[in-house]
């Protein structure tokens, strides 16, 4: 019988098709969000540097860019990790929750700028990430709601 901790971590993941299906969907989530996020990161920075005349280092070294890059990298890490070998349901639960929560923190910090445009970009990126997870990962509504709520918390002030 699984322990309470194992049940909690894997709770809500729908395994009707087995752990390999959940794992494949986690890899797909990581790939999809990484390609979208990093694509936006590259295009936006190329435009800012080319049109705005900003230096590459000055443009890339902002808090918003660093957090965007780290959040994108988190999704790349999920993609690679979920693709390398079979994982237990417990490990998949940790990958699912951890990747969404860490990416949410990064995107929240990306949005935590005095510039209203940056706030909207961060919130949009967070919404797309949570929506992609809700569509791609087979889990209960309660797990999706809880993870999305925690990932979208942002400290005000």
The two tokens of residue 75 are: 């999704």
Let me know if residue 63 belongs to a domain. yes
Let me know if residue 9 belongs to a domain. no
Beta bridge partners of 139: 13
Let me know if residue 134 belongs to a domain. yes
Please tell me the predicted confidence (pLDDT) of residue 154. Answer: 58
Let me know if residue 81 belongs to a domain. yes
Give the model confidence (pLDDT) of 30-78 as tens digits: 999 999 999 999 998 888 888 877 788 877 888 888 999 999 999 999 9
Distance, CA of 155 to CA of 42 (rounded, Å): 28
* Nearest CA among 56, 58, 44 for reference residue 125: 44
The two tokens of residue 105 are: 């923190």
Please tell me the predicted confidence (pLDDT) of residue 155. Answer: 47
Q: What is the separation, in whole angstroms, between the first and last Cα of the chain?
A: 46
Give the model confidence (pLDDT) of 89-137 as tens digits: 889 999 999 999 999 888 888 888 777 777 888 888 889 999 999 999 9
Let me know if residue 10 belongs to a domain. no
Residue 18 scores a pLDDT above 90:
no
Let me know if residue 7 belongs to a domain. no
Residue 3 scores a pLDDT above 70:
no
Number of structural domains in the chain: 1
The two tokens of residue 5 are: 């901790």
Residue 148 scores a pLDDT above 60:
yes
DSSP helix/strand/coil, 139: strand
Let me know if residue 118 belongs to a domain. yes
Residue 121 is part of which domain span? 17-151
Please tell me the predicted confidence (pLDDT) of residue 110. Answer: 84
Chain-centre distance of CA 65, in angstroms? 15
Let me know if residue 6 belongs to a domain. no
Distance, CA of 23 to CA of 26 (rounded, Å): 5
What string of DSSP letters covers 26-86? HHHHHHHHHHHHHHHHHHHHHHHHHHH---HHHHHTSHHHHHHHHHHHHHHHHHHHHHHS-
Confidence (pTM):
0.84
Please tell me the predicted confidence (pLDDT) of residue 77. Answer: 96
Distance, CA of 40 to CA of 34 (rounded, Å): 10
């Amino acid at each position: 019988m699984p322990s309470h901790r194992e049940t909690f971590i894997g709770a809500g993941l729908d395994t009707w098709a087995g752990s390999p299906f959940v794992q494949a969907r986690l890899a797909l989530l990581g790939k999809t969000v990484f390609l979208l996020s990093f694509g936006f990161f590259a295009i936006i920075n190329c435009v800012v540097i080319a049109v705005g005349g900003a230096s590459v280092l000055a443009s890339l070294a902002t808090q918003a860019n660093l957090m965007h890059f780290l959040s994108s990298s988190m999704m790349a890490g999920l993609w690679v990790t979920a693709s390398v070998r079979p994982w237990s349901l417990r490990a998949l639960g940790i990958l699912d929750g951890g990747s969404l929560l860490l990416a949410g923190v990064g995107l929240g910090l990306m949005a935590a700028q005095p510039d209203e445009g940056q706030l909207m970009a961060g919130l949009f990126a967070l919404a797309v990430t949570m929506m992609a997870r809700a569509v791609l990962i087979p889990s209960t509504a309660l797990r999706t709601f809880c993870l999305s709520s925690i990932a979208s918390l942002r400290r005000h002030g």
